[in-house]
Chains A and B, each alone.
Chain A
Amino acid sequence: MAQLFEFEKPIIELERKIAELQKFSAEKDIDLSREVETLEKKVSLLKKEIYGNLEPWQKVQIARHPERPNFYDYAPLLFDDFIELKGDRLYADDQAIAGGMALFRGVPVTVVAQVKGKDTKENIKRNFGMPHPEGYRKALRLMDQAEKFGRPILTFIDTPGAACDLAAEERGQGEAIARCLLAMSGYHVPVISTVIGEGGSGGALALGVGNVILMLENSFYSVIAPESCASILWKDTSKAKEAAAALKFTAQDLLKLGVADEVIREPQGGAHYNSRQTADELSAVIAKYLVRLRTESPEALQEKRYQKLRAIGPFQEKSI
């Protein structure tokens, strides 16, 4: 059973009651169907109430859920074929980033994704989804290939942030990310970036320069982790909940701020309750935008992506 959150407990409590009632009714042969029906209605309302009004911090918890589907869970559900390609040709193969060629509804695409592990062992292998420079350079190599062969690029964002250790500094973490930003902004192929879990700062943005930016309903995408923000603002990491609200980083916030183009529905309670259903929603929305983008000329794709970036971030200009 999936790890449960505190805010889900009233639902579980009620569901347990229903199960008990049903068991009792069967054992004693007493008709309790009306009571069960009432409780089931109540549970359904409660779910709507709780899952429909998740606070930013609760979404952070869902987005970081250890069983939340990662790229490797979605890949076989989204693609008819996926050939993973490895290495940056310079240093190593970073397993915090996966990439390769895939067939998406029959269309050859290049795919690049950040990947978190599901358990400690896998997380050590994947550095908890925090890529090193070689990861970004692998992503860049694969995306350049897509540009060369005219393949659309699909990126999937799911990282707490770029690796923040000495090795990353020595190998030029900043430069590796910056190169991705510059390259992505100039491509002549469609680029669709989807945040599927955690979008942690510059390390996430390195795959986020899309013509279209999509976000799963319970994902978030932030300039800084809420814990770090709380530590800076209030010198108290336990105020992450307040920081999560202040940063306005949920999918719904980003839609309002003009960064995200669409929020993709998740199953009630979050993607981890049904990865197939989530993949179906992802597939439908990505396909909708891909069809649109494929009608654009290479020049228009580049220009419109540039204009999208140029328009992000409001300011006021004194008229002269």
Chain B
Amino acid sequence: MFKDIFRRTKYVTIQSAPAPKRTTAVGTRQEPKTVKKELPDGLWVKCPKCGEVLFIKDLEENARVCTTCFYHFRISGRARLALLADENSFEEWDSEILTLDPLEFPGYEEKLLEAQEKAGMIEGVLTGRAMIEGVPVVLAFNEANFMMGSMGSVVGEKIARAVERAIDLRLPVVIFSTSGGARMQEGILSLYQMAKTSAALGRLAANHLLYISVLTDPTFGGVTASYASLGDILIAEPNALIGFTGPRVIKQTMRQELPAGAQTAEFNQMHGLIDLIVERAQMRSTLARLLRYHQEGVQHGATV
């Protein structure tokens, strides 16, 4: 009866900074001046897991984690960055690489524009360097709002460059993944971004540098089958859905019912596929602890 009271259909638009300077390389486009706010208009939102009605301000203050059941709402890369990095420590890299439409795929240009509008960025990954509790690190964040975090040529290129730069700077890498997989609209070229990113991480490993992969809701397909699974340490957020094949496809093609909790972070951990499940509130301190173990030339207290 009350179900519909809280369902909002109107969305407020807010000024976002920084606004993307250009959209696609395909043509000259109008600059999207605004992006959609992440939560429906109004003061309240309903938790999809426990049904609790939450005060939006409380939710935002709690890093978008339900104050009742600890359900982790999806969060943008920039919001994640703000939670993790030391203030003013982030230097963004390669923000001006533009996507082409190499296959002239039906509807791709429109899809890209929509995604740019929705996510407020020109492609689906944010990369750069920052400090976490004073430890320098190279960071990458997939953007769920950008075509479900799918990996096309630009996402692959930006991740590969970030990893290569980490090798030059001798810095550890932390990648937050959230993705439906390789981007269909760039066909085989997207598929080979899996190989490209994995190859770069192979070089990072050969240089004895740390890579921490953080899998967030949802991580599937070509991203699970490439960089997201290649961390020295694999971390997941509680309840995040992680897998290779999406649950719907398993059900449809294999006519197989999935047990409750299949493909959650907890399921993956039980099957030996994930090291740690870390709540969003503890992510920064956990990463800092792990990073310090691998910090080069830093003394940790007394010599043995």
A259 CB within 8 Å of chain B: yes
17 A-B pairs, CB-CB below 8 angstroms? A164-B249, A165-B245, A166-B258, A169-B262, A170-B271, A175-B273, A182-B199, A185-B199, A202-B181, A202-B194, A222-B191, A223-B183, A247-B103, A249-B187, A254-B188, A313-B196, A318-B98
Cα distance, A179 to B202, chains bound together (Å): 10
Indicate the size class of the contact surface on chain A. 35 or more
Q: Would you call B230 an interface residue if the criterion is a C-beta within 8 Å of the partner chain's C-beta atoms? A: yes
In the complex the two chains form, what is the Cα distance from A16 to B222 in whole Å?
48
* A233 is an interface residue with CB less than 8 A from chain B: yes
Query: Shortest CB–CB separation between residue B180 and chain A, in angstroms?
Result: 10
Taking beta carbons and an 8 Å cutoff, which residues of A are in contact with B? Answer: 162, 164-166, 168-175, 177-179, 181-186, 201-202, 205-206, 208-209, 221-224, 228-229, 232-233, 246-249, 253-254, 257, 259, 305-306, 309-310, 312-318, 320
**Neighbouring B residues of A224 by C-beta, 8 Å:** 182, 184
Give the total number of A-B pairs whose CB atoms are below 8 A apart: 199
Given known A-B contacts A174-B229, A186-B199, A223 and B188 have beta carbons under 8 A apart: yes
Further contacts, 18 of them, CB under 8 A, given A173-B225, A186-B203, A223-B186: A165-B250, A169-B262, A173-B243, A175-B225, A182-B202, A202-B191, A205-B191, A221-B188, A228-B249, A246-B105, A248-B103, A249-B188, A257-B188, A257-B189, A309-B199, A314-B100, A316-B98, A318-B97
**How many interface residues does chain B have, given as a range?**
35 or more
> Which residues, 199 to 252 on B, are CB-close (under 8 Å) to A?
199, 201-203, 205-206, 221-222, 224-230, 243-245, 249-250
How many Å lie between the Cα of A312 and that of B154 in the bound state? 11
Tell me, rounded to whole Å, the shortest Cβ–Cβ distance linking B187 to chain A: 5
Given A164-B254, A205-B194, decide whether A223 and B226 contact each other with a Cβ distance below 8 A.
no
Kindly list chain A residues whose C-beta atoms are within 8 Å of the C-beta of B224: 173-175, 178
Q: Is the CB of B192 within 8 A of A259?
A: yes
Q: How far, in angstroms, from A13 to B155 measured CA to CA in the complex? A: 51
Task: Tell me if B47 counts as interface (CB < 8 A to partner A).
Answer: no
Tell me the dominant secondary structure on chain A's binding face: helix
**Would you give the shortest CB distance from A103 to chain B, in whole angstroms?**
29
Question: Does B188 contact A222, Cβ atoms closer than 8 Å?
Answer: yes
Q: Which of B123-165 contact A (CB under 8 A)?
A: 152-154, 156-157, 160
